[in-house]
Amino acid sequence: MADLKKLAEEIVGLTLLEAQELKTILKDEYGIEPAAGGAVMVAGPAGGEGDAAEEQTEFDVILKAAGASKINVIKEVRAITGLGLKEAKDLVEAGGKAVKEGVSKAEADEVKGKLEAAGAEVEVK
């Protein structure tokens, strides 16, 4: 049997590009597709009202739509993420994907501003 802990550590350590390639392999070769939204749900700590009072410290920048100037948005996504042309194009065309995850509020606002300046529709969660 495979060492599941080692496998889990390797999956967690994947870059965005590697995770996208893994998703493609699982879908094409094994017919396995991620759950709706592609996100893994993690149970939070059992708690009450105190959790709601905590301020969010990590934000995800979600590209909702490329808008009219898709080429400019692809260029900006490449500059922000360091992805190759094909990967950035795929991310932009898919829509609803995270460009940056787990970043500070200041960085999320900066990325959002750059993408909106390029013509994209962006959401920060």
pTM value is 0.53
Instruction: Specify whether the CB–CB gap between 120 and 70 falls below 8 A.
Output: no
Q: How far apart are CA 21 and CA 18, in angstroms?
A: 5
pLDDT digits (tens, 9 = 90+) for 51-87: 455 677 888 888 888 888 888 889 988 998 888 899 8
Tell which residue, 66, 63, 71, 72, has the closest CA to residue 118.
72
Q: How far apart are CA 18 and CA 64, in angstroms?
A: 22
pLDDT digits (tens, 9 = 90+) for 37-48: 444 444 445 554
